[in-house]
């Protein structure tokens, strides 16, 4: 581990920094925890430390706007430390910690506990997200002001939608005072009903109850209308439908403060993969894997910037919650350690540009949440990922840094991997030689 005060040269890599408009072989000089210089030719003092990045991409550290760390309350699934370790192994140097812990993050005490654990772990930067409603019950607003003062960077009842439009209106108005977005899980629970996967031919064949894509569409449309009413900022979590894409595209065209994220799994998989998997509960999440048309729509929306960022919705569960029949199993999958290769596959298929991919993992989430990082501009935090875009590896969940193993990519051959991650100039992850 290097000290933050040290000077470190990262040499010979292809620097991709969309925020700064840089794409080419450069040397990155880090000093005192910040980016000191990015240049084609730099003299390195003989005693200065260096990392040889030839053949690799050097990018701002990834920022994941949607991570479930499970601490406090469900430390058997994940902790701030193990989640942070999984994050940096995947190239994520900043993560937003969603508030559906036990108890939920609706009090300053929980926010402070998460921040203290993150400081102890010294891995990824952790930004807590506070609850919109007390206990995420959707009845009364949480103390948003206190949570903001304690360090929350956004508010969310994620895991659940905010079903009351009146509460959502008040939350948008209140959050506006602090200039932070509401990150929303958009599913109308009445339309979801008992649905456990996307409504469509695959669900019918499998004999599983479906939830229509319109369950998401109507909530996004409602909240865009409430943004229009209030001027508040909306961030649509894990957008998964063509209808929600249309609503966000229309909102942006009208200049409304709406941003959106998409997960690697909604970009890569469909409800037919649930069928192919043979009822594998590692293909069960909310919102569910959608149709091919929905997948094509979110891919195109990510490429053209309608969807701002890629977020994993890393949702660790143990076998206790997952090793059940499909109907009864918990929603969600882990994603931090596989996001980069899964999304890089879209680049190889010609669906996404390399620079746009990196932007969606760095500058775009930084902008959506007003976070430092996401760029290698001089003076920026020295948070970086070094990526080997050609490294082939097999996904073995037993080797995850995450405590949980619920990954649909288990056993699959993946291409592309983070080899180093730095936070504030400190090397917090280096891929072992055996893994390369």
Q: Using CB under 5 A as the criterion, which residues of the chain lie in contact with Zn ion when the complex forms?
A: 158, 185
DSSP state of 384: E
Per-residue exposure over 190-212, b if at least 16 CB sit within 10 Å of its own CB, e if not: ebbeebbbbbbebbeebebebbb
Nearer to Zn ion, 185 or 401 (CB): 185
Decide: 56 and 13 in contact? Cβ < 8 Å: yes
Give 271 or 313: the residue with its C-beta nearer to Zn ion. Answer: 313
Euclidean distance between CA atoms 55 and 52, whole angstroms: 9
Cα→Cα distances 69→73, 278, 300, Å? 10, 29, 30
Task: Report the alpha-carbon distance of residue 33 to residue 6 in Å, rounded.
Answer: 8
- Least separation, in Å, of the C-beta of 211 and Zn ion? 13
Distance CA 148, CA 119 (A): 18
Helix spans in 157-213 (H)? 165-178, 189-192, 201-206
- Of 180, 177, 128, 137, nearest to 157 by C-alpha is 137
Question: Of 64, 158, 223, 313, which residue is the catalytic one?
Answer: 313
Is 313 among the catalytic positions?
Answer: yes
Biggest alpha carbon distance in the chain?
67
- Nearest position to Zn ion, beta carbon: 185
CB of 320 to Zn ion, least distance (A): 21
- Structure-block tokens of residue 234: 């909306």
Q: Which is nearer to Zn ion, 263 or 364 (CB)?
A: 263
Query: Could you tell me the smallest distance in angstroms from the CB atom of residue 219 to Zn ion?
Result: 12
CB of 237 to Zn ion, least distance (A): 5
CB of 16 to Zn ion, least distance (A): 29
Residue closer to Zn ion (CB basis): 284 or 426: 284
3-state secondary structure of 216: helix
Active site residues: 313
């Amino acid at each position: 581990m290097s000290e933050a005060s040290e000077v470190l040269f990262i040499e010979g890599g292809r620097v991709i920094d969309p925020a700064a408009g840089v794409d080419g072989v450069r040397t990155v000089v880090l000093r005192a925890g910040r980016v000191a210089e990015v240049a084609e030719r730099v003299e390195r003092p003989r005693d200065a430390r260096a990392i040889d990045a030839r053949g690799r991409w050097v990018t701002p550290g990834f920022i994941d706007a949607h991570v479930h760390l499970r601490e406090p309350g469900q430390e058997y699934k994940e902790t701030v430390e193990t989640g942070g370790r999984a994050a940096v192994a995947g190239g994520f140097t900043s993560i937003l910690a969603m508030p559906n812990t036990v108890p939920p993050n609706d009090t300053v005490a929980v926010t402070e506990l998460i921040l203290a654990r993150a400081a102890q772990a010294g891995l990824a930067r952790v930004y807590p997200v506070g609850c919109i409603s007390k206990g995420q019950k959707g009845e009364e607003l949480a103390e948003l002001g206190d949570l903001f003062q304690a360090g929350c960077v956004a508010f969310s009842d994620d895991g659940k939608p905010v079903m009351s439009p009146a509460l959502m209106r008040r939350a948008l108005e209140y959050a506006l005072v602090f200039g932070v977005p509401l990150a929303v899980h958009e599913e109308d629970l009445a339309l979801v009903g008992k649905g456990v996967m996307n409504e469509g031919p695959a669900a019918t064949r499998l004999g599983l109850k479906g939830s229509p894509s319109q369950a998401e569409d109507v909530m996004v449309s409602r909240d865009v209308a409430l943004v229009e009413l209030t001027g508040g900022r909306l961030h649509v979590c894990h957008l998964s439908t063509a209808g929600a894409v249309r609503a966000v595209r229309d909102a942006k065209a009208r200049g409304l403060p709406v941003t959106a994220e998409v997960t690697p799994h909604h970009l890569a998989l469909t409800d037919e993969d649930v069928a192919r998997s043979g009822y594998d509960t590692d293909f069960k999440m909310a919102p569910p894997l959608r149709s091919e048309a929905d997948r094509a729509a979110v891919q195109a929306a990510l490429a053209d910037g309608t969807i701002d960022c890629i977020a994993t919705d890393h949702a660790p569960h143990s076998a206790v919650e997952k090793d059940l029949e499909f109907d009864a199993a918990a929603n969600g999958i882990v994603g931090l350690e596989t996001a980069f290769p899964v999304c890089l596959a879209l680049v190889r298929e010609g669906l996404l540009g390399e620079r746009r991919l990196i932007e969606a993992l760095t500058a775009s989430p930084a902008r959506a949440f007003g976070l430092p990082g996401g760029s290698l501009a001089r003076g920026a935090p020295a948070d970086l990922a070094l990526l080997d875009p050609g490294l082939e590896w097999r996904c073995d969940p037993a080797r995850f840094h995450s405590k949980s193993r619920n990954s649909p990519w288990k056993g699959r051959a993946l291409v592309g991997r983070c080899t180093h991650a730095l936070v504030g100039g400190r090397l917090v992850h280096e891929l072992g030689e055996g893994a390369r």
